[in-house]
Structure formats: structure tokens, C-alpha cells
Chain A
Amino acid sequence: MNNTKLTVSHAPFWHDGDSLFKKNLNFILALLPAAIFGILQFGAPALGVLALSLSSAMLWEQIINMISKKPSTIGDLDSALIGLLFGMMLPAVIPWWVVVVGTFVAVFMGKMIFGGTGANPFNPALLGMAVLMLAWNMFFDFNTAYVNYEFSFTALAPLAAVKFQGAATELFPLNDLFMGKEVGAIGATFSLGLIIGGIYLILRGYIRWELSVSFIAGILVTAFLFYMASPQKYAGPWFHLFSGYTMLGAFFLITESASSPVQRIPMFIYGFLAGFMIILMRNIGTYADGTILAILLVNVVNPLLDNIRPTALGKDMSNA
């Protein structure tokens, strides 16, 4: 025992056993129902897009780590999650190079240049999507993307159809939207699967219910106000809730931890603001689905919102 070298570190000497790896793994698990549904619905091309997206995102992180001479960090699965989320937001038939460019933007510009995992001010997957949508908008027209598919339901992207073609929302029964019988991105159509995954993450404590609930409230309240103002012109709140990226946004995009607040009141404001912005963009903006840009926009507000917080112990001098 004379010269035994002991491990020395600072308190605490216990840990609850959680880690980034477990957190991201649980996210990926929670995304699987919707992802598998997307593969079943859109076939092998969907699988190809998801696989390429996930692997290229991890590869980009590894390459950037090697160039910047940093230890490899892909083991925490953060890039894998970004890749999977990114792939799930794409249509199944998209050229491979768009996917690779998109994951580069997501991982490099969205995350690595800010300092890696946790340092991103924006949701990386959304940043990748936003750049692609601005640069190559034609690939994100879900109506032309699935022209060679035969569906048993209305083969029109609900949001775009209602907004630009003046289609009646009756073409899209809520039940169909909820069960994924709609044209859209690989992983965003199956609302039920996304809700199950989201509730799983809430119960496990990996995402905060405050964000999801206030986001959904923001969507419903704003859409309801528009609908009440002009039922002929605007779609109803439930239609908005189960179409486009809304459900993916409610449980997986708005809840991305690094770019969202952590205090309760800021979380409510943040979620509601995102939902509010989405409906504004959908109803009076130029895009059919504003989810991506709206969440990126509220990402900017995050640092300000977290200043609304309780007074720390011993700081309130009137009681001292």
C-alpha cells in the first residue's frame, strides 16, 4: 500500500449514470417508429436516404475532428442523431449529393464551428434543412417528388395543396393525417409514431414537456384564431397539428436542448412563440410549411429568454 497511486478528483463522487450517449441513443430509439413507417411507406429509397444521411453526418464529424486534431467525438451519437433527424425531414427521392451537402452544413456549420456538441446556437439539422431549402427549393416540392408513386390516399402534400392550390381540407381526413396517410417527408408523416416517441422521451426525462405542450398550444391557438377569422381561407387547427413537420417539430426539433431554454417560464414562451410563428408563416408567409424557419428564428431568442429566472438563494436582499 506504500506507493499506491489513487484516483484523485473533485466531489461529487457519484453520478446518476446518464450520459450523452444514452441521451442520444434514446432520441434515436424514439425516432424509430416514425422512421420505420417512412421506410415502409416510401420504400427502399427512403431507407437509402436515411442510411446515407446518418452515416454521412457521422463521417463529417469524424473528418472535421481529424482536420482540427481533436479527439473523436462521434461516439456520443450526437451527429448520428442530427443525421437521422435530417434524413427524416427529406423526401424519399432526393439526389444523394443533396443529402451529403445537407449533412455537411448541419454538422459543420450547425455544430462543429461553434465548438462541437452542445455549443450550437441553432438546431443543426434545421440549419442544414434551411440552407438546402433556400438553395435547391425544387427538391422539396413533395408533390413532384412522389410523382412515380401510387398511394391509396390523396397524393398531394397537404399544406402546399391547401395553401397554393386551394384544395379543401376535406381531402385530407384527420384520421389519415394522424396515421401517416399523407405525402410528405420520410419521417414526418406518421404523427402517431412521433407522438409515441415524444411521450417516451418526456417520460424518460430527455425532453421537457413544457416545450412540446406550449409548442402544440401555440399551433392550436394561432391556427384557431385564423380559422375563426376566415374558415374558407385558412385550415383548421387540427389540420395544422397533424400535417407537415409539426409533430416532428413538437417532440424532436423544438426540444433540441442546446438551442432551447431550460427555465420553466422561458420554455413556455419559447414553445408558444415557435408555434405562433409557424402558423403565421403557413397562413400569411410564402412557404407552405414554416416549421423549419420558425424554429430557427426562435433559436435566436433563446439566450434572452433564459434570463427570466428565479432569484438565486441569498440574492434577494430585502429578505436578508
Chain B
Amino acid sequence: MIKRSFFALSKPGLTCDLLEPDPEAPQKIDVPALLTLLLPEPLDGSRDVLIQKGDPVKKGQKLQLYEDSIDYAVSPVSGTIKSIDTFTADDFSGLRTRIAIEKDTQATDQIEYPEMKHELSFAARHLNHLPGAPPFARLARTEVPVNSLIIMVSDTDLLTTTSQYMGTVHAATLQKGVQILKQITKVPKIYLVLPDRLQDRVRFDSMTLLPARLEYPETLPAMIMKNHLDKILPAGKTPEEMGICYIRAEAVVSLARAFETNAPVFEKCITLIDKTGTRHRVEAVIGTPLGQIFSQLGIQINELDRVVIGGPMQGFATFTPHHPVTPDMDTILVQDRKTITPLSDNNCVNCGKCIQVCPADIPVNLLVRFLQAAQYEAAADKCDLESCIDCGLCAYVCTAHIALSQYIRLGKHELQKLRTDV
């Protein structure tokens, strides 16, 4: 953890980690006997589900809940479905469906995979589950035509180097993937965000490079838009609504591999930071419970430790070490209970540190007063609630230890609910 410097006239300098020279290949995690797949779609008790407990599944088989479901998972192993139940991963992302699959060690057969097509509808139906979570389903559904694709060879959060690793070590595969991506999406402009300090290590031909500075939060999508594309993200809008789509380097690499082998890819590269701050790079099959990774690396998880999925500024804390590896999981951060800073229900003391660090120029000191009083509409109208880009810096520096990011996230969530009710 980076502590406040003794002299604090300037902003805190949080810098994203740079990929080490000559990065080691990731350590492979064994495929466990029981895998868990997460579907974003919740179970609907009134409808019949296509898959049932006890059904046999084959490697590469597409699993979806209903005929008209858009979301699906693809089984990385052959075996039997052990259970299907509801799962809450994160407070605000709603209910999900969890499918547990018991691996059949004897079975070696895998499903005949359809011939790869350079079509968006095909990609949305068959390639959306790839490691790195390519946004094909979203692209296929979007009402706003996407005019810029931005491939992220830089990581958005601190500590992690997954995207940098996948983008630089597999640069050649990435370039092949970009060609496929061009044919699939037919997006006119493709950019590649590369940390400025990596530019002499890797070459990408015939692509527009956007050199990203590693100072957090310069690596966040909204800041990249602002600094490189000269587009200001309007308050309350997502980059997709502006016709800009971000895609991880790993997703592009997985895409190229899937086309190369005409088979789905399941191996997800993850940066894991243990309690001592040591970084491990692992490769685990999607659906592997985190506990399997911890035991293979010899990381002991004790009562009241914190397991964070995603980086220290933007991730979320999971309640269970059984949480599976998902296609978008770049980082796992394990914190000892002793290093966890307690939050408080203090009032804002108006020290102004949040104002100094906020990249979106939000009056956080006023905003938090509205949010604490549950005045969400006033917070949006008067204090720019929707301009927040969720960088988490305000809560990082808060002297009063107020859970500012949580208040803001809750505020946005409640505001959306209020608006849909109307």
C-alpha cells in the first residue's frame, strides 16, 4: 500500500505497474474436479430452464438458460452439471446464475465446433465467452454504431500487468487478432493503447498507437478519451453510447487463437498479488475456483482476510474463496486482515483532499453530503454525481475514512432506479 508522503503539497502519485523486462510465462493452474461458470442472466422461476442438474456436458458445449437468452457460458470440460443456483457476485451487479460442473476425468471427447465465420452475429453467438471478455454481444446489440475500437495493452488499475503481458508477449498473435477483429466488426478506426514506457519494447505495424501515461487515473477509459481522442465523456454516458468500444488485449489474442485452432479458448491469464505484495502470473481455466489457485501457490487465506477481484482502486471484494475465474478477471489481490483500513461513519471534515485529486472536478465534499442524506437527484443536478468515473481516488485520500466510492456507486445505482421507475 502506498502511504501518504511526509510532505503533501502535491497530489498522491499512484502509478500503474509496468510490465517487468523479460516477463516469465504464467504458472499453469491444474484444472480442478469441480468448475463453476457464472452467467450474468438470473434464474427465472416461472420458466423452464434448458439445462438441468445431472445433464452431461461436453467440452466446448454452449450453456444457456433459455432459448432466447443472449448470455451464455461454454463448458471448459466434459462432465456433468452438479447444480444450478443463484449467485450474487457484487452488490450492484445484480443476481447471476452459477452452474457447477463436475469434470469427468475419463471423457476426452469434445463438441464439434462450428466453422469460424468473420461475422459479428457469429462472434456474438460463439465467441463472447473468450478469456478477456470481448464485447461482441454488446457490439451486436448496440443501437449506436461503434466508430472506434480501442485495444487496451495497458492495464486500467494499479498493480496488475495482465493486459501488458498479453499484449507485448503475444504481439504477433495480437496483430492477427486485430485483422480478424476488423473483418468481424467492420469498425473504421482501431486504436491501440500502449504504456509510453513499453513503446521501445514492442512494435505494432499499421495501427494508431495511443501512448498512455502510467499515472493513475490516466489509464481509465474516460481519461483516454479525453487525453487522446479529444472527446469528453458526457456526464452519465458510457463510452459505448459515444460509439467507442474498449477491448482487452487478451480478448484479441484469444480471438486469434480461437480462429487458429477452430476451437474455443479457456485459459485466462491473471495477475495475482499475495499478502506480501509479491506478484504471481497464473493461467487458469475459466471456472476454476480461486481457492484452487491459492492452494497451488501456497497462499493461506484466513478468517477476515480480503480477496479482491480486480485492482485495489476499482475491484470488488468477494465473500467467498470459491468465486470462480471469469473471462474478465485480470487481477486478484489478497490482503491480510491486519492491513485493511477500517471505514468510518464520520462526517466530511471539508479538508479538500478529494477536490485536489478528483480527475473529473467533482465537488466531492458537497456531493457526499447529498448522498449521505439520500438526495440522489439533487446530487446529480447540483453536484455532478454522474460525472464520476469511479477512479476511487477520493476515498483513497479521505482523511475521515468515509466510503466515498461506495456512496457514489450507490447514488448512481439508486438514481438509475428512480429514473426507470419514472
Contact of A118 among B9, B12, B346, B359 (CB under 8 A): B346
Q: Residue-by-residue, is A1-28 near B (CB-CB < 8 Å gives 1, otherwise 0)?
A: 1001111111111111111100100000
By a CB distance below 8 angstroms, the chain B residues around A67 are: none
Are A313 and B315 neighbours in the complex by a CB distance under 8 Å? no
Question: A117-B346, A259-B350 given. 9 additional CB < 8 A pairs?
Answer: A1-B295, A6-B319, A14-B2, A18-B397, A312-B235, A312-B362, A312-B387, A314-B234, A315-B384
Given contacts A116-B347, A117-B347, contact A12 B319 (CB under 8 A): no
Q: What CA separation (Å) do A257 and B348 show in the bound complex?
A: 10
Q: Residue-by-residue, is A267-279 near B (CB-CB < 8 Å gives 1, otherwise 0)?
A: 0000000000000
Given contacts A20-B349, A313-B235, contact A6 B307 (CB under 8 A): yes
Given contacts A11-B315, A12-B405, A316-B232, contact A1 B363 (CB under 8 A): no
Are B234 and A317 neighbours in the complex by a CB distance under 8 Å? yes
By a CB distance below 8 angstroms, the chain B residues around A59 are: none
Contact of B304 among A5, A115, A203 (CB under 8 A): A5
Q: Chain B nearest CB: distance from A160 CB in Å? A: 34
How many residues of chain B get a CB closer than 8 Å to chain A's CBs?
80
**Leading 9 A-B pairs by shortest Cβ distance:** A205-B8, A262-B352, A118-B347, A312-B384, A10-B406, A313-B360, A12-B392, A118-B349, A312-B387
Given contacts A116-B347, A117-B349, contact A6 B384 (CB under 8 A): no
Q: Is B226 an interface residue, CB under 8 A from the partner?
A: yes
By a CB distance below 8 angstroms, the chain A residues around B312 are: 11-14
Q: Is A233 an interface residue, CB under 8 A from the partner?
A: no
Q: Chain B nearest CB: distance from A65 CB in Å? A: 14
Contact of A258 among B310, B337, B349, B392 (CB under 8 A): B349
Q: Is B351 an interface residue, CB under 8 A from the partner?
A: yes
Q: What CA separation (Å) do A249 and B291 show in the bound complex?
A: 57
Within 8 A of A (CB), among B171-219: none
Q: Chain A nearest CB: distance from B9 CB in Å? A: 6
List, sorted by A's number, 9 A–B pairs whose CB atoms are closer than 8 Å: A5-B304, A13-B312, A15-B401, A17-B4, A116-B346, A117-B346, A117-B400, A205-B7, A259-B350
Q: What CA separation (Å) do A311 and B2 show in the bound complex?
A: 30
By a CB distance below 8 angstroms, the chain A residues around B7 are: 203-205
Q: Which residue of B lies closest to A315 (CB)?
A: B235
Are A15 and B1 neighbours in the complex by a CB distance under 8 Å? yes
Q: Is B301 an interface residue, CB under 8 A from the partner?
A: yes
Are A12 and B396 neighbours in the complex by a CB distance under 8 Å? yes
Q: Chain B nearest CB: distance from A120 CB in Å? A: 9
Are A11 and B313 neighbours in the complex by a CB distance under 8 Å? yes
Are A4 and B396 neighbours in the complex by a CB distance under 8 Å? no
Contact of B350 among A4, A12, A258, A310 (CB under 8 A): A258
Contact of B4 among A4, A16, A315, A317 (CB under 8 A): A16
Q: What CA separation (Å) do A205 and B11 show in the bound complex?
A: 10
Q: Is B377 an interface residue, CB under 8 A from the partner?
A: no
Q: Is B343 an interface residue, CB under 8 A from the partner?
A: yes
Q: Chain A nearest CB: distance from B6 CB in Å? A: 7
Are A314 and B350 neighbours in the complex by a CB distance under 8 Å? no
Q: Using C-beta atoms within 8 Å of the partner chain, give the interface range for chain A.
A: 35 or more
Interface centre among A4, A14, A206, A262 (most CB of B within 10 A): A14
Q: Which residue of A lies closest to B385 (CB)?
A: A312
By a CB distance below 8 angstroms, the chain A residues around B319 are: 5-6, 8
Q: Residue-by-residue, is B212-240 near A (CB-CB < 8 Å gives 1, otherwise 0)?
A: 00000000001000100000111111000
Q: Residue-by-residue, is A289-320 near B (CB-CB < 8 Å gives 1, otherwise 0)?
A: 00000000000000000100111111111011
Q: Is B318 an interface residue, CB under 8 A from the partner?
A: yes
Are B302 and A4 neighbours in the complex by a CB distance under 8 Å? yes
Contact of B222 among A17, A309, A313 (CB under 8 A): A313
Q: What CA separation (Å) do A23 and B397 show in the bound complex?
A: 13
By a CB distance below 8 angstroms, the chain B residues around A10 are: 91, 316-317, 403, 405-406, 409
Are B405 and A319 neighbours in the complex by a CB distance under 8 Å? no
Q: Which residue of A lies closest to B362 (CB)?
A: A312
Q: What CA separation (Å) do A13 and B302 show in the bound complex?
A: 18
Q: Is B308 an interface residue, CB under 8 A from the partner?
A: yes
Contact of A320 among B232, B341, B361 (CB under 8 A): B232
Are B232 and A205 neighbours in the complex by a CB distance under 8 Å? no
Are A16 and B2 neighbours in the complex by a CB distance under 8 Å? yes
Q: What CA separation (Å) do A317 and B405 show in the bound complex?
A: 25
Are A7 and B406 neighbours in the complex by a CB distance under 8 Å? no
Given contacts A5-B303, A10-B409, contact A23 B317 (CB under 8 A): no
Q: What CA separation (Å) do A313 and B225 show in the bound complex?
A: 12
Q: Which residue of A lies closest to B340 (CB)?
A: A7
By a CB distance below 8 angstroms, the chain B residues around A1 are: 291, 294-295, 301, 321
Q: What CA separation (Å) do A10 and B319 show in the bound complex?
A: 12
